[in-house]
A and B are shown apart, each in its own frame.
Chain A
């Protein structure tokens, strides 16, 4: 069994959504198309569709989060599901309960889906391997490994602006080493068949053998940004830094922070993205973040549509499977 086919049911449909790695191009496009159909729901007077009525979705967050948690909650509510938010940082694991015990306890309450964020890489895989077959797992970020819904909402945003993936050059700038977002984006971009994926960072923030992920590595910002269509700035996660990776925020901004002058080497119509929250003046100049090339706020609203799509698709494989059995 590979790391990825645990994500699919016997008919090749999405079961759990743990990583963008190993999913087919068609499946990723299917997620984007589903999201497109949900994108208008938020603009309606009644912002709800009844697709997951009667289902219980638990947002199980072992790490603090604002936008991911909020958009997952909104997505679930717009699908008419019952939602429970559990902040584990203030809950049982601080009493010494293991992840497995927490999972079993919540399963006993007959929940249908867990949206999980956890600080350890592979936590979502661990849960998917250990839950009963009628429960679904959506990964909302595990350690440095994957954050697939963030990657897909970025793909959605890119496609809205640049519909032809095959012509695109995309640069991901910053702390790739600690970034689950970057890993998931790289797998999604290469699967969707973009022309080139670049990562731009000092060597201290580039993972070992990064080229094996199918990217070109640049250590200099201007060189890497040349001629690109999409620029994805990563958050410089201070809390993740052990030590000795960077001398100072000031030096980082000077070399890798995005400003008007550096943006000039990219294509004229290049868009600028950031998964948020932004460190203004560290990764990105405020002028750019709030400027016309920035699509950062669109990313946030697209997040709801993508999460609605993934939840529906993954629950859909359940509903139909149950029908098959009956």
Chain B
């Protein structure tokens, strides 16, 4: 299909581009940007006046629940939800059931995504066999099977010697290691940020040091042995300071933050709001502000959904007995735009943290609108108001903390490999 998108505001952070103009697409590739190709004959023309066109979003962390937990969600259900938020590439952690510690599981996930054909999934492989933190996973085989990095997900490798060797071996495989920084002893049994709220509600506290000790430990290890590390879903101000320091010292580290942590704090847990039971926990107002500031300063490289769809039963218990995580994939873009509307971050920073920067962390050839690249893109109406309604969520997981929130900015079209995968019906008011 040959597509012409006219009069758009084109934002492509990879090329430092923010201009009005046209975009031509043919045979799944971007042909030209800003100035239209001469005599381009389009099958379809979209007038994007007043709209933003940006690369398809790259989400560094979404759990699609396949294989193993299809009662929560499937790759098909979540791909559609993701497409409605302009997401065309997803990285998923290895803690599926079975774990992504064999090539077969990595391939299965990618094949499911290919058959749905709305986005690509880049799996992370397990860092240790069965995520048990004891022996190394077959990382070279996982890489051959399409894994873009390795991670031990939520399971802390408590044996520091194993962690050190895992980092060394991953470096030999030229794979970045994704670290979910949580010290097992300080964090694994808790369910809320250690502070006034957890003390009042009698929830099991997770101190800030559960995160900062794990971050420091990994930083000291790679300072000595080398290797590239990406820190996932940082939650505390102190961690951002550690990352800033490490980057200044020239260590090859990057970091991301989950979208919920840029909007919510420990206060939202009050009255035992189970949809705010997240891991890492929602921390203080000061921490939230430091995370937002980290995007402005560039200490945080990416914003991800940290999407964790759950079945209703997983959240139908007293707070401490519920499963952690929020369904957030289709609100990723609107919630990021909300930060822009509130002038907390700029539009350029938001789009970069959702496209070019996460693509660079994964070493992917996407997240840009450069001519010649695959045509993955989103068209955004930045003026469209809506209120979040759990009954309207496309994700199979209805566990959103944002029900009833008023947001502005919605994706109207999503193109994946030059094909339309999502189009929002125009709502006449």
- A-B interaction: yes
Instruction: Say yes or no for B199: interface residue by CB 8 A criterion.
Output: yes
Question: Is there an interface contact between A99 and B317, defined as CB atoms closer than 8 Å?
Answer: yes
Bound complex: CA A120 to CA B204 (Å): 10
**In the complex, what distance in Å separates the CA atom of A118 from the CA atom of B320?**
12
Bound CA–CA A121/B189 (angstroms): 14
Asked whether, in the complex, the Cβ of A208 is within 8 Å of the Cβ of B199, the reply is yes
B211 within 8 A of A: no
Chain B, range 318-372, C-beta contacts under 8 Å to A: 318-321
- Closest residue of A by beta carbon distance from B194: A208
Check if B321 sits within 8 Å of A2, measured CB to CB: no
B212 to chain A, nearest CB (A): 15
Of the candidates B189, B199, B319, the one having the most CB atoms from chain A within 10 angstroms of its own CB is: B199
The size of the chain A interface, using a CB distance under 8 A, is 29
Name the residue in B194, B272, B319, B320 with the highest tally of chain A Cβ atoms < 10 Å from its Cβ. B272
**Are the CB atoms of B318 and A118 closer together than 8 Å?**
yes
Q: Does B195 contact A (CB under 8 A)?
A: yes
Q: Are A208 and B205 in contact (CB under 8 A)?
A: yes
We find that the number of chain B residues with CB closer than 8 angstroms to chain A is 22
Residue pairs across A and B with CB atoms within 8 Å: the count is 80
The answer to the question of B201 belonging to the interface, with a C-beta cut-off of 8 Å to chain A, is: yes
In contact, A212 and B196 (Cβ under 8 angstroms): yes
Contact check, A98 vs B313: say whether CB atoms are below 8 A apart.
yes
Given A122-B319, A126-B318: A213 and B271 within 8 A (CB)?
no
Shortest CB–CB separation between residue A241 and chain B, in angstroms? 13
Is B270 part of the contact surface with A, judged by Cβ < 8 Å? Answer: yes
- Distance A207 CA – B204 CA, assembled complex (angstroms): 10
Interface string of B173-209 (1 = CB under 8 A from A): 0000000000000000100001110111111010100
Contact B198 A208 (CB under 8 A): yes
Q: Is the CB of B195 within 8 A of A209?
A: yes
Decide if A309 is an interface residue (CB 8 Å cutoff).
no
Alpha-carbon gap, A144 to B318, bound state (A): 13
The 8 Å CB contact of A3, one of B198, B272, B313, B320, is B272
Most buried by B among A2, A122, A208: A122
Residues of B within 8 A of A274 (CB): none
CA distance A123 to B207 in the complex (A): 23
Contacts of B202 on A, CB cut-off 8 Å? 121-122, 142-146, 180, 183
Supposing A208-B198, A209-B195 touch, asked if A3 and B318 sit within 8 A by C-beta, the answer is no
Separation in Å of the B319 CB from the closest CB of chain A? 4
Complex Cα–Cα for A143 and B207 (A): 19
Interface string of B269-296 (1 = CB under 8 A from A): 0111000000000000000000000000
Contact A209 B320 (CB under 8 A): no
Contact indicator A120/B320 (Cβ below 8 Å): yes
Residue B1 lies at the interface, judged by CB distance under 8 Å to chain A: no
Instruction: Give A1 to B271 CA distance when docked, in angstroms.
Output: 8
Chain B CB within 10 Å — which of A99, A145, A183 has the most? Answer: A145
B100-150 at interface with A (beta carbon < 8 Å): none
Is the C-beta of B316 less than 8 angstroms from some C-beta in chain A?
yes
Whether A100 sits at the interface, judged by CB under 8 Å, is yes
Closest to A5 in B: B271
* Known A99-B317, A120-B320, A121-B320: A2·B270 in contact at CB below 8 Å: yes
**Is B271 a contact partner of A2 (Cβ separation < 8 A)?**
yes
CB neighbours of A84 from chain B (8 A): none
Whether the pair A3, B270 counts as a contact (CB closer than 8 A) is yes
Q: Which residues from A are CB-within-8-Å of B319?
A: 120-122, 126
B316 contact from A98, A120, A123, Cβ within 8 A: A98
The answer for the CA separation of A183 and B197 in the assembled complex, in Å, is 12
User: Bound state CA distance, A115 and B335, in angstroms?
Assistant: 42
Check A98–B320 contact: CB distance below 8 A.
Answer: no
Kindly report which residue of chain B lies nearest to residue A125, judged by CB atoms: B272
Contact of A122 among B189, B201, B207, B316 (CB under 8 A): B201
Q: Which of A2, A100, A121, A144 has the most CB of B within 10 A?
A: A121
Interfacial chain A residues near B316, Cβ < 8 Å: 98, 100
Interface residues of A in 203-244 (CB under 8 A from B): 207-210, 212-213, 242
Instruction: Name the residue among B205, B313, B316 with the largest chain A CB count within 10 angstroms.
Output: B316
CB distance from B57 to the nearest CB of A (A): 34
Q: Which residues of A contact B194 (CB under 8 A)?
A: 208
Among residues of A, the one whose C-beta sits closest to the C-beta of B319 is: A122
* B317 contacts A100, C-beta separation under 8 Å: yes
Q: Which of B194, B195, B201, B317 has the most CB of A within 10 A?
A: B201
Q: Are B199 and A210 in contact (CB under 8 A)?
A: yes
- Taking a contact as CB atoms closer than 8 A, the residue among B199, B207, B270 that contacts A213 in the complex is B199
A196 within 8 A of B: no
The answer to whether B318 touches A120 (Cβ under 8 A) is yes
Q: Mark A3-14, 1 if CB is under 8 A from B, else 0.
A: 100100000000
Q: A123–B313 contact, CB under 8 A?
A: no
Question: A120 contacts B321, CB within 8 Å?
Answer: yes
Bound complex: CA A126 to CA B205 (Å) = 20
Q: How far is the CA of A120 from the CA of B316 in the complex (A)?
A: 13
Chain A residue nearest to B189 (CB atoms) is A242
The 10 closest A-B pairs by CB, nearest first: A145-B202, A144-B202, A207-B199, A121-B202, A3-B271, A122-B272, A212-B196, A120-B318, A123-B318, A209-B196
Taking A3-B271, A183-B200, A207-B199 as known contacts, 4 extra A-B pairs with beta carbons closer than 8 A to each other, sorted by chain A number, are A98-B316, A121-B202, A183-B202, A213-B200
21 chain-A/chain-B pairs, Cβ below 8 angstroms: A3-B270, A3-B272, A21-B200, A98-B313, A98-B316, A99-B318, A99-B321, A100-B317, A120-B317, A120-B319, A120-B321, A121-B201, A121-B319, A122-B201, A122-B272, A143-B202, A183-B202, A208-B195, A210-B199, A212-B199, A242-B189
Q: Which chain A residues have a beta carbon within 8 Å of chain B's beta carbons?
A: 1-3, 6, 21, 98-100, 118, 120-123, 125-126, 142-146, 180, 183, 207-210, 212-213, 242
